[in-house]
């Protein structure tokens, strides 16, 4: 289906439901039907018939708190179909605000609050054009991270024809509580007091740099996540508004690209060598506390398919701005919710484990060998990476919940 949506912008906006999108679909080396399982959970080793997914009942009973730009509650990723009752221990709330009502919450999205007193006290005004003074997400970042961590199963979604299949979070049985602490002015803004207010009930962090000594969230009690690639790539031929033609990987594509036309070519699975440390992933040492080795772990952070807000144009083709309800995004922001979801799965199996025990289980069961049998490589240099690039190595689910790491 398609329909016109009214949002800020200079072009007509076309909404493309990702399940029914029929642009020029990519020719694939395997049938599209083979992509029915979400890709990054599979890459992490999560399986339906064995391992931590069934052992944890997919995270049932766990609550994941997200500090971000808000959430789009109408997304099918936050449907409460098949979800259990809200845990009795839950004391949070769903607040009312601009285009957001407490009735927008359900058994999946059980809490939604916004924290903006800090930026308002600093004399900064929340944009009325590019944000909502409520837990509602405008940017799409918080919706993407939340659905990556704990989104419900949604069949037949894609990124404009790419990565067609099922969207599902790492802990799809877990509940979500959103704490909006990032706000739009001319750029994303937050106040430390607002973040700290949100951290009364949840912890989160993200940053992208790629340079040495660029770790920001490096406190010893925080699990700091680097971004890695996965063994899947997409190619396309793109013609820009200046009639320049490019053919290559769509990896790390940016929103807002002025595209005249696009032709999808191939989806490749099993690319090698993978994973690699993504070029944008921040590296250690921590410039503030260099004795605290960071990052802690590497997780998929490139071309992650998850829910977004269907009101922000992803690209412009000709005279039309295109938006969708699911997109492939890249960043350490995409890697972090994978680990948050894994932590929720471990907590569901081991309620007695502390955050430090969960982090230890994740780090001590990671691996440092890519799919060619060699040490992980740095995408920027092509050379072997080090623990200052990937931490304890990329996470793989097979052993982290078993006796080997039972603390």
Handedness of CA 81, 151, 65, 125 (dihedral sign): negative
Question: Can 11 be counted among the known catalytic residues?
Answer: no
- Catalytic entry in 75, 114, 137, 141: 141
> If you count DSSP H runs as helices and E runs as strands, how many of each does the chain have, helices first?
8, 21
- Catalytic entry in 75, 190, 214, 333: 333
Do residues 50 and 243 touch, judged by C-beta distance below 8 A? no
Show contacts of 3-6: CB within 8 Å, 24+ apart.
5/310, 5/311, 5/323
- Catalytic entry in 68, 137, 139, 303: 68
Do residues 332 and 227 touch, judged by C-beta distance below 8 A? yes
Place of tokens 């990896």: 251
Q: φ and ψ at 156, to 5 degrees?
A: 70, 40
d(CA 217, CA 223): 8
Q: Of 341, 346, 345, nearest to 358 (Cα)?
A: 346
Could you give the dihedral angle defined by the CA atoms of residues 229, 189, 76 and 301, in that order, rounded to the nearest 10 degrees? 10
For the chain, report the end-to-end CA distance as a whole number of angstroms: 51
d(CA 244, CA 236): 14
d(CA 231, CA 43): 8
Q: Of 230, 317, 216, nearest to 269 (Cα)?
A: 230
In 199-319, alpha helices (H)? none
Question: Can 252 be counted among the known catalytic residues?
Answer: no
Do residues 214 and 226 touch, judged by C-beta distance below 8 A? no
As beta bridge partners, residue 239 has 245, 261
Instruction: Count CB neighbours of 20 within 10 A.
Output: 10
Question: Can 406 be counted among the known catalytic residues?
Answer: no
Structure tokens at 133: 């003074």
d(CA 246, CA 242): 12
Q: Catalytic residue numbers?
A: 68, 141, 333
């Amino acid at each position: 289906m398609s329909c016109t949506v009214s949002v800020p912008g200079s072009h007509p906006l076309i909404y493309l439901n990702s399940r029914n999108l029929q642009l020029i679909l990519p020719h694939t080396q395997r049938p599209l039907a083979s992509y029915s399982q979400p890709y990054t959970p599979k890459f992490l080793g999560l399986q339906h018939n064995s391992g931590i997914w069934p052992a944890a009942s997919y995270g049932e009973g766990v609550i994941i708190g997200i500090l971000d730009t808000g959430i789009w509650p109408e997304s099918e990723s936050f449907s409460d179909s098949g979800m259990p009752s809200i845990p009795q221990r839950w004391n949070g709330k769903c607040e009312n605000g601009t285009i957001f009502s407490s009735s927008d919450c359900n058994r999946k999205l059980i809490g939604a609050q916004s924290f903006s007193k800090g930026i308002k006290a600093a004399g900064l005004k929340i944009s009325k054009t590019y944000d909502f003074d409520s837990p509602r997400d405008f940017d799409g970042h918080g919706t993407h991270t939340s659905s990556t961590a704990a989104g419900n199963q949604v069949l037949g979604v894609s990124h404009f024809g790419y990565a067609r299949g099922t969207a599902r979070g790492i802990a799809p049985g877990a509940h979500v509580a959103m704490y909006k602490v990032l706000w739009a002015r001319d750029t994303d803004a937050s106040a430390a007091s607002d973040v700290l207010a949100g951290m009364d009930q949840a912890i989160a962090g993200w940053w992208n740099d790629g340079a040495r000594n660029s770790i920001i969230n490096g406190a010893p009690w925080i699990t700091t996540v680097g971004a890695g690639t996965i063994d899947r790539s997409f190619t396309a031929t793109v013609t820009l508004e200046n009639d320049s033609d490019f053919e290559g990987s769509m990896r790390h594509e940016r929103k807002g690209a002025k595209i005249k036309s696009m032709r999808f070519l191939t989806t490749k699975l099993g690319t090698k060598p993978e994973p690699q440390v993504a070029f944008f992933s921040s590296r250690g040492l921590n410039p503030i506390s260099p004795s605290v080795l960071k990052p802690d772990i590497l997780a998929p952070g490139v071309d992650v398919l998850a829910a977004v807000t269907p009101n922000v144009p992803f690209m412009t083709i000709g005279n039309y701005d295109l938006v969708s309800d699911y997109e492939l995004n890249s960043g350490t922001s995409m890697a972090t919710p994978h680990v948050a979801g894994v932590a929720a799965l471990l907590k569901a199996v081991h309620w007695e484990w502390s955050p430090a025990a969960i982090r230890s289980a994740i780090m001590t069961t990671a691996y440092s060998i890519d799919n060619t049998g060699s040490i992980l490589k740095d995408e920027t240099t092509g050379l072997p990476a080090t623990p200052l690039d990937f931490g304890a190595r990329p996470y793989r689910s097979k052993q982290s919940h078993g006796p080997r790491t039972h603390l």
